[in-house]
Amino acid sequence: MKKLIPFIAIATMAFTGLSAQAQVVQQKAASGVAKAEGALDKGLASQGLKNQGLYGELGLSLLSYKISNHGISAKPIMLRGIVGYDYHPNLAAEAMLGLGLRGGSATGYFGSAYNVSAGTMIGVYAKPRLQLGDMELFGRLGLVNTSSSVRGYTGTDGGAGLSYGAGFSYLTDWASFSHRKISINADYMSYYSGSGVKYTGFTLGAGMKF
């Protein structure tokens, strides 16, 4: 027992030290968040906007990519980020950035093999919506530029054009480290359609208001 007493004392001191360090880290994180929010408030105020209207979303997109006149069809995967601002209870504006995570292989007519890369998507949208309690139904209409590429194919494989879709968002009781509620969302989008190329996708993600 006498041999255990020094060990217990050392373990207790170590645990106390770790707890104190954890509290310091938590306080610094909270202070950092507060400073970031203050800087964001000032930046938005300079543009005549309010912090409360800003939100962000991050989701995983399962895409469907087709070039009809060559029979090319693949299902790449994309990571999609959205930053939006609530201008009105029934209307928001959004900027979107999509980054390809995984390409897809495809076989065209006559057995030709192709490799499709999701590339990068950049878009802007108007987002009309309807609030039903914690549920939000919305549509999207905007412009998107796709930079997909198809290895082994020399024709048109992407471009810029009209993009549209619809989905829903649900406000959960989950909260982030800064006590902001997290929403889950899902939508189906047509990102690009033109020159025989069609790019659509289903996205499941989560969002948070700032």
- % of the chain at pLDDT higher than 90: 48
The residue with greater pLDDT, 48 or 75, is: 75
Contact 125, 92 (CB under 8 A): no
**One-letter amino acid of 71:** G
DSSP letter at 48? T
Q: Find, among 147, 71, 58, the residue nearest to 110 by Cα.
A: 71
Residue 88 CA to residue 63 CA, distance in Å, equals 31
- Residues 205 and 60 sit within 8 Å (Cβ to Cβ): yes
The DSSP 8-state label assigned to residue 103 in this structure reads -
Residues 6+ apart with CB under 8 A from 210: 37, 40, 51, 52, 54, 55, 56, 180
Q: What is the pTM of this model?
A: 0.73
User: What local confidence, expressed as pLDDT, does residue 29 receive?
Assistant: 39
**pLDDT tens digits, one per residue of 14-36:** 445 544 454 544 454 345 444 54
Of residues 188 and 111, the one with the higher pLDDT is 188
Q: pLDDT, tens digit, for every residue of 78-102?
A: 999 999 999 999 999 999 999 999 9
Beta strands in 68-196 (DSSP E): 72-74, 77-88, 91-102, 104-107, 113-117, 120-132, 135-146, 149-151, 159-175, 181-194
